Chain A
Amino acid sequence: MEQFFTTLGIWLGALFTFAIFSFLYKDNPFYKTAEQIFVGLSAGYWFVYTIFFILIPNLYNPLTQDFSANWIKLIPAILGLMMLMRLIPKTEWVSRFPISVIIGTTSGVFFLRYLKSDVLNQLTATMINPFIGDSWVTVIGRLMLIVGTICGVIYFYFSKKHTGALGVSAKIGIYFLMVSFGAAFGYTAMARISLLIGRLQFLLGDWLGIIHP
């Protein structure tokens, strides 16, 4: 019986793979059906996992097993229920209270973390001695790192018109950003091709048995 279900599973996988690939020819009902099954299953998965892995262990169990030590969790529970009031247009405003807790917490944490990791630490990482590299290539690279970062940041400074020295710096900044986007494209191409490789490894391996990855 298990063998039957294993085979059925592989065939189902192949069937849905082709249903999605059929979009490459043109949009069609097979693709649309597969797409909607994807949306439905995805939502269902999130729903079940949220209840099984968040609401039961972090809310229901503490409240039912030791209420006196965990009664404070009633507050987020109530706030959570208030969040669901958003589904009814007349009571939508009630959800502003839990949203304000969420937004307030996020803002507070983001303020601190981004300041340290993405601003201060990045500035520190740019303040390097470019001339201590082990070869002239590294020295050039480190110089590029310093100049590129500074000019790139200048490019994002929109409070003053980009003319004169500021304009030249911003222009250099754009050049660095373009190289960066080009490299990002190269990596994106690699990523997308990898996904296709994964699909073909399934079709040629698990389904047809031609290859053994």
Chain B
Amino acid sequence: MGKTKQIDRRWLFLLIFIGVALPLIFTIGLPLETSENVQMVYDLVESMPKGSKALISFDYDPASMPELHPMAKALLKHCFDKEIDLIFTAMWPMGVQMAEDIMAQLQDDYPDLVYGEDYVNLGFKAGGMITIQSMGKNLRKIFPEDMNGNNIDELPIMEGINNFNNISFVFSLSAGAPGIKEWVQIAHDAYGRPTSGGVTGVSAPAMLPYINEQQQLTGLLAGLKAAAEYETLLQAPGTATSGMDSQSIAHLIIIIFIIIGNINYWRNKRAEKKGGK
């Protein structure tokens, strides 16, 4: 096959850059529809009675912030509105800072929240699946202290919380392993707790088999679009919603790239055939 004529890829880079930047400045505000998986997550939180205790695991780092931060913020808002007490953990060391960052952003909206009563950050533990399994048996052995060094016995929110049986539901904000897969395998499949999560677009397809009649996963927030849908459901547009115009334009550009690439390929192939004859 002859050499296909290719344009300098830096032009493609420039197009993508402009295609993402411009809609951020000149917003279009295109409509969004809620998908079933997002609705399932929303309904799960809605079904929780006041005072329920949920475990939210921040299993991501700054590399996935643009996708997972908006959904974390929306989910936490929803939980706090429903007066659900939240216990934060992190299977990734930077997840601790992610949780702190979200709480700092929510401080103005929820000034009455009390640390240790309404929410607590237990910090990071290594060990992935094995640590999660151990938490399921005895959470206090894995987390004797919270991230500030407070004894877990002195925190009101932790009263009566010894293992997963005392948790209403588990939600993992996950950018890879350890993350949502391990939570499904342990929290749901071994301990029967309702488990849900938010994942990056990259890992979303691999998690789909867990959404089944056994509800290994109760819904799933997959990527920025799901975050935007959740924000829409809460009627609280945030960074995900404002990023969706850029997302749409960038997708269109990529699709156009694919079409041009294919036209080029077939044109060259035809030219080669003609040349061969």
Binding site for B on A (CB under 8 A): 24-25, 45-46, 49-50, 53-54, 57-58, 61-62, 105-106, 109-110, 113-114, 116-118, 121-122, 124-125, 128, 180, 183-184, 187-201, 204, 210-211, 213
List B residues 221-276 near A (Cβ within 8 Å): 222-225, 238-239, 242-243, 246-247, 250-251, 254
Contacts of B149 in A (CB 8 A): 57
Q: Is B32 at the interface (CB under 8 A from chain A)? A: no
Query: Other than the known A117-B185, A193-B224, what 6 A-B pairs have Cβ atoms closer than 8 Å?
Result: A45-B94, A50-B126, A58-B142, A106-B130, A188-B202, A191-B67
Query: Footprint of A on B, CB under 8 Å?
Result: 10, 13, 16-17, 20-21, 24-25, 63-67, 93-94, 96, 123-126, 129-130, 133, 142-145, 147, 149, 184-186, 189-190, 200-202, 204-206, 209-210, 212-214, 216, 222-225, 238-239, 242-243, 246-247, 250-251, 254
Collect the chain A residues with CB atoms within 8 Å of residue B130's CB: 105-106, 109
Alpha-carbon gap, A109 to B137, bound state (A) = 14
Query: CA–CA, A137 to B86, complex, Å?
Result: 40
- How many Å from the CB of B266 to the closest CB on chain A? 19
The 5 residue pairs across chains A and B that have the minimum distance between CB atoms: A198-B66, A191-B201, A125-B212, A187-B201, A49-B93
Number of A-B residue pairs having CB atoms within 8 Å of each other in the complex: 153
| From B94, B204, B251, residue with most partner A Cβ within 10 Å | B204
Query: Which chain A positions have C-beta within 8 A of B63?
Result: 195
Tell me the minimal C-beta distance from B78 to chain A in angstroms.
20
Q: Contact check, A197 vs B246: say whether CB atoms are below 8 A apart.
A: yes
Residues A113 and B185 in contact, CB atoms below 8 Å apart: yes
Complex Cα spacing A192 to B21, Å: 14
Are A201 and B66 in contact, CB atoms less than 8 angstroms apart?
Answer: yes
Q: What are 5 A-B interface contacts by the 8 Å CB criterion? A: A24-B10, A58-B125, A117-B185, A121-B212, A204-B24
User: Do B204 and A213 have beta carbons less than 8 Å apart?
Assistant: no
Contact of A62 among B133, B144, B202, B214 (CB under 8 A): B144
Q: Quote the shortest CB–CB distance from A108 to chain B (angstroms).
A: 9
Out of B94, B189, B214, B224, which one reaches A113, CB within 8 Å? B189
Given known A-B contacts A106-B130, A113-B190, A211-B24, A125 and B205 have beta carbons under 8 A apart? no
Q: CB distance A117 to B239 under 8 Å? A: no
Q: Measured between alpha carbons, how far is A194 from B66 in the docked complex, in Å?
A: 6
Question: Using Cβ atoms and an 8 Å threshold, which residues of chain B touch A211?
Answer: 24-25, 242
- Residues from chain A with a CB closer than 8 A to the CB of B129 are 109-110, 113
Q: Which residue of B lies closest to A105 (CB)?
A: B130
Given A113-B186, A125-B212, A213-B239; A193-B246 close (CB under 8 Å): yes
Residues of A within 8 A of B96 (CB): 49, 53
B254/A189 in contact, CB under 8 A = yes
- Give the distance in Å from the alpha carbon of A58 to the alpha carbon of B139 in the complex: 12
